[in-house]
Structure 1
Amino acid sequence: MRKTTRMIPKAFSQLLNEINKRSLHVLHPSIPKSDYVCLDLSVTNETLNSVDVSSSEKLEAYINNHIDVNSAKVAFGGYLETRNIYQRSTYFKNSNPETERNIHLGLDLWLATDAPIYAPLNSVVHSFKNNTNFGDYGPTMILKHKIQGMSFYTLYGHLSITSIENLTIGQEFKQGEQIATLGDASVNGDYPPHLHFQIIKDLQDYVGDYPGVCSKQDLDCFRDNCPDPNLLLKL
């Protein structure tokens, strides 16, 4: 796997904090923050020991129950979580714990299939692709943003197929404009419906894809290159 180059993220983090003085959303802005509930899918969550996380249907039932009992509409979380849910896929699994890809680099937002997704900032389409490996993103979109002379990218994974059918490279989206809808388990890598939202400083030579899960040995590089999405969303 290609590693990111080591970088000094201070100026970038400052930019993200400056940007967030405005109201930013990737889901419909009518959903108040009080209707979001944090979800723990890490290896330290012992309640998951009784859930067959290899089954998208059973994991979806667990997540929906978590949303319901908390009187919420959206479950969110996962940045830098070490998870077991990827062990079902040979695309991620590795017998060496140092190189197994199980540390999540984005923020997941779990809600219903076909939920609309919005551009948090003015942007242009950098690339898109249907990443069809088992456990992968499925339909994916990458947007490029340029603010105060600094460029960076946001990735949107687990979309519907229709979300990328009519896209064009360089297509512009204004802040708050709908860009996509969520896909279901039949197209999104076999997961419960959710958005994988990730910030990327240096996209390198990736097109329509970028690692959303990394190994322990690569964590320092990826953590620098992919800061916490909550710097923008403030959930």
Structure 2
Amino acid sequence: MILPFDFQKDPFLILDFTEKNPELTDLDLTNTAVFSDYVFGKIRQAGAVVGVGGYGEHRVIYRRSPHFNQMEESRCIHLGIDLWAAAGTLVFAPLNGIVHSFQDNNNFGDYGPTILLEHVWNDKPLYSLYGHLSRSSLAGLQVGMAVSAGQRIAELGPFPENGDWPPHLHFQLMTDLLGRQGDFPGVCTLSERERYLAICPNPNRLLNIPGLG
């Protein structure tokens, strides 16, 4: 369990943020309140308790922020899984590990407060990233601090402190951090897709959300 929901029992909604969703065409994604109303309106309409955004998805929503469009080729491939839920929702560690690093990535459309944990999985290093947290989630953390599976580690942040997104958790796995601390790309370009997916395994291996792949 990473959020206080049971994906085998609790109703959830898989949200589509690709160009296949015509509802995004006229939605002002730069207005976070409008974007948030859309996301949570869809969740309520479906009778769900949490929204889910897929791994490896080619998305259009990153056009909202220059953070993803600073290079010649824009970033558009989602490298984690998003869990859309109310600000203040608790976040739990899925595995035993230690705090690798943390920081507030404070840019519009960025992660906001972010925690990275380091684990051992099948006798190999594995890292997990938790983005869009509350600033209070970083209080008291220390690099190297031990974390147990099932331990509360954070809570979802409200916008704008969460990177100015509708409240959600970006959860991502990495086998190699490429020397980074407190941050790691959660979205890559099309040309980088194979390289990044090779070191960012599907988080659903841990979440086991039915129908998500």
Q: Aligning the two structures, in what range does the TM-score lie when normalised by the shorter sequence? A: over 0.9
- Find out whether 1:63 has 2:43 as its counterpart: no
Unaligned runs of 5+ in 1: 1-24
Unaligned runs of 5+ in 2: none
Q: CA deviation at 1:87?
A: 1.6
Q: Distance in 1 between matches of 2:176 and 2:76?
A: 21
- Name the residue aligned to 1:201: 175
- Name the residue aligned to 2:137: 163
Q: 1:172 to 1:49 in 2, by over 3 A?
A: same
Q: CA deviation at 1:30?
A: 5.5
Alignment check: 8 A CA contact 1:92 1:100 kept: yes
Q: 1:38 to 1:232 in 2, by over 3 A?
A: same
Q: Which amino acid aligns with 2:87?
A: T
Q: Matched residues, percent identical?
A: 42
- Name the residue aligned to 2:64: 88
Residue aligned with 2:82, SS = strand
- Which stretch of the first structure deviates more once superposed, 138-147 or 46-55? 46-55
Q: Which amino acid aligns with 2:155?
A: T
Give CA deviations for 1:120-174 in whole Å, capped at 9, x if unaligned: 0111100001001221000000001113421110000000001012100111111
Q: Which amino acid aligns with 2:170?
A: H
Q: Distance in 2 between matches of 1:176 and 1:114?
A: 17
Q: CA deviation at 1:50?
A: 2.7
Alignment check: 8 A CA contact 1:54 1:85 kept: no
- Name the residue aligned to 1:125: 99
- Name the residue aligned to 1:74: 50
- Find out whether 1:145 has 2:119 as its counterpart: yes
Give CA deviations for 1:169-209 in whole Å, capped at 9, x if unaligned: 11111111100001111211110000000010111210000
Give CA deviations for 1:83-116 in whole Å, capped at 9, x if unaligned: 22222222211584xx211111110000000100
Residue aligned with 1:217, SS = coil
Q: What's the C-alpha RMSD, in Å, of the aligned pairs?
A: 1.5
Alignment check: 8 A CA contact 2:10 2:49 kept: no
Give CA deviations for 1:18-76 in whole Å, capped at 9, x if unaligned: xxxxxxx1101557543221111112211211321221111111111111111110000
Residue aligned with 2:162, SS = coil
Q: Distance in 2 between matches of 1:30 and 1:220?
A: 31
Residue aligned with 2:48, SS = coil
Q: Which amino acid aligns with 2:23?
A: T
Q: Which amino acid aligns with 1:80?
A: G
Alignment check: 8 A CA contact 2:174 2:199 kept: yes
Q: Distance in 2 between matches of 1:28 and 1:144?
A: 22
Report how many residues are paired.
209
Residue aligned with 1:228, SS = coil
Q: Which amino acid aligns with 1:49?
A: T
TM-score, scaled to structure 2:
0.93
